[in-house]
């Protein structure tokens, strides 16, 4: 009985200390801080974390408003869920929020916080950003990659056509995500290292090469272990323990990722040493440019720096592009009339004598509406990567102290009922004829830390989605509604990967036959 009283008294003391500490902190200097739900001593609001996190934060925003504060263990955070407040964060407070929080669990993943996505705002980050935009993602570079994207789309379509030809009734059941992941990976590998995944003769018609499977396995292991998944990022005492083996799993996945990238660097270095197809200027791969710079500034362009940059670009582009196309196809399968309308636009604009090309993209306005609506409903990053305030600032009139983590809920902003009519409905027509011009969307972020790969991503999504619509008639498996449940992780995967039925369109058979 005495032990029970001691336990109750101890808990009461903890609650009192917590209340006094954070009450004083909230009222410091008479400044008003954002509203906050009730917290638990030491744990703060970790008990409110549910998967997917953006959904849990959206529900909290309904009760506490477009700006509210949370405490994840030892870390303070502010959550923004409205267009006006997001604009304020990335305009007036853009420099203030240009840093990234440092998570102990992410040190190995981010090369000790030196990668493009994790580095704090400063000379090192600006140099990485400059290299990325000049050597990989400039408008001219992206335009020159259109042939690579089209080639990968054709190769994917050819394998799907073969699968359909070998199936009863010329109808193949395909899981698109694996095929789309390999396509996205090949596009990035071509840009970064002038190479792509290879297929043995035995797996020439499979949905994914062994090499692509290797990298996808790394992504599938790392993504769920990042973000809010690691309690020991927020509770320092837990860093001495690894009950669920998270550290071990992450290090194993990081080592496999680094080995994958190291092979790309070593192969490019070997080509340069042998002067084989090295190219010059814009024909060089990004890695060969960095290796050239390494010769004059070895202390800056180290192998670790090159690996970190490659890892950031592969992580930011491969999974997100594949996910977006998969969501788009899922939406179209659940709305067959919209799919037919998109198919009709392509037939009228391009015809059936050739495949879609980059030059066609400006003329396919309805296809762009579908892509915009997909990015609105299912942004690949429903929560922007975390920012951190470097100085005290104000958001929506509330005081935000230095060192506060900023979470911007893109999913909530894109479905704001005060901005979007029928916010949960799939209506590409809302983007026709500039109807939605001026309405706020940030699927690629905003401000200094905005994703630099937007142009490449949109080109890839447009070409690949357009090719799939042009070449095949699509249907749902067993006529069942496609499951639109969202998964969890850094990106926004489907909880249930899309399986669909594809049949070569009669009008496109001659073109598809020529691909064999």
> Cβ(359)–Cβ(454) under 8 Å?
no
CA separation, residue 197 to residues 8, 141, 187, 260, 319 (Å): 61, 21, 10, 11, 16
Nearest to 33 by CA among 46, 24, 21, 42: 24
Written as six digits, the tokens of 212 are 């692509």
Q: Cα Rg for the chain, rounded, in angstroms?
A: 25
CA separation, residue 113 to residues 232, 269, 400 (Å): 17, 25, 24
> Cβ(366)–Cβ(344) under 8 Å?
no
Give the H or E element holding residue 67. strand 67-72
Is 451 known as a binding-site position? Answer: yes
> Cβ(441)–Cβ(380) under 8 Å?
no
Helix extents (H) in 136-175: 139-144, 146-165
- The Cα–Cα gap between 192 and 184 comes to 12
Residues β-bridged to residue 387: 406
> Cβ(344)–Cβ(443) under 8 Å?
no
Coil vs helix vs strand at 292: helix
CA separation, residue 351 to residues 340, 347, 354, 464 (Å): 15, 4, 7, 17
Place of tokens 């698109």: 176
Cis peptide before 52 (omega within 30 of 0): yes
Q: How many CB atoms lie within 10 A of CB 510?
A: 10
29: left (phi over 0), alpha (psi -120 to 50) or beta: left
Give the list of residues 6+ apart from residue 100 with CB closer than 8 angstroms, or none. 113, 117, 118, 119, 120, 385, 386, 387, 388
Residue 182 CA from chain centroid, whole number: 16
Nearest to 320 by CA among 121, 491, 160: 491
Nearest to 462 by CA among 141, 223, 135, 142: 142
Binding site residues for heme, as ranges? Answer: 451
Binding-site residues sit at: 451
């Amino acid at each position: 009985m005495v032990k029970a009283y001691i336990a109750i008294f101890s808990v009461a003391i903890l609650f009192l200390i917590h209340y006094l500490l954070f009450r004083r902190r909230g009222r410091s200097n008479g400044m008003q801080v954002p509203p906050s739900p009730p917290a638990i001593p030491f744990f703060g609001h970790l008990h409110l974390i549910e998967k997917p996190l953006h959904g849990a934060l959206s529900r909290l925003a309904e009760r506490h408003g477009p700006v509210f504060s949370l405490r994840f263990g030892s870390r303070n955070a502010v959550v923004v869920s409205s267009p006006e407040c997001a604009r304020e964060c990335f305009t007036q407070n853009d420099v203030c929020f240009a840093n990234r929080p440092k998570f102990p669990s992410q040190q190995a993943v981010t090369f000790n916080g030196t990668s493009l996505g994790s580095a704090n705002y400063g000379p090192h980050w600006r140099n990485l950003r400059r290299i990325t935009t000049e050597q990989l993602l400039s408008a001219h570079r992206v335009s020159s990659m259109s042939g690579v994207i089209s080639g990968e789309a054709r190769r994917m379509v050819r394998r799907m056509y073969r699968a359909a030809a070998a199936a009863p009734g010329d109808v193949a059941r395909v899981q698109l995500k694996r095929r789309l992941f390999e396509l996205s990976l090949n596009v990035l590998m071509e840009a970064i290292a002038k190479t792509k995944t290879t297929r043995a003769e035995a797996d020439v018609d499979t949905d994914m090469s062994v090499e692509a499977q290797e990298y996808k396995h790394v992504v599938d292991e790392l993504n769920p272990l990042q973000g809010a998944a690691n309690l020991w990022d927020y509770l320092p005492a837990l860093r001495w323990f690894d009950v669920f083996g998270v550290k071990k799993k992450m290090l194993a996945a990081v080592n496999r990722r680094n080995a994958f990238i190291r092979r790309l660097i070593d192969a490019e270095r070997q080509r340069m040493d042998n002067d084989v197809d090295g190219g010059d200027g814009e024909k060089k791969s990004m890695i060969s440019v960095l290796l050239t710079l390494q010769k004059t500034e070895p202390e800056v362009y180290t192998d670790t720096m090159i690996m970190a940059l490659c890892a950031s670009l592969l992580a930011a582009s491969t999974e997100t592009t594949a996910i977006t196309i998969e969501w788009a196809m899922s939406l179209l399968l659940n709305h067959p009339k919209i799919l037919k309308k998109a198919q009709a636009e392509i037939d009228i604009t391009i015809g059936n004598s050739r495949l879609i090309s980059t030059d066609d993209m400006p003329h396919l306005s309805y296809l762009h509406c579908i892509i915009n609506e997909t990015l609105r409903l299912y942004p690949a990053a429903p929560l922007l990567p975390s920012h951190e305030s470097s100085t005290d600032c104000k958001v929506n009139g509330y005081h935000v102290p230095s060192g506060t983590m900023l979470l911007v809920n893109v999913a909530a902003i894109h479905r704001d009922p005060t901005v979007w009519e029928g916010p949960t409905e799939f209506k590409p027509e809302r983007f026709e004829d500039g109807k939605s011009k001026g309405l706020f969307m940030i699927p690629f972020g905003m401000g200094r830390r905005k994703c630099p790969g937007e142009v490449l991503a949109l080109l890839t999504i447009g070409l690949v989605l357009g090719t799939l619509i042009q070449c095949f008639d699509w249907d749902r498996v067993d006529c069942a509604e496609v499951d639109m449940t969202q998964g969890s992780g850094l990106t926004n995967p489907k909880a249930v990967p899309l399986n669909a039925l594809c049949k070569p369109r009669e009008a496109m058979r001659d073109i598809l036959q020529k691909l064999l």
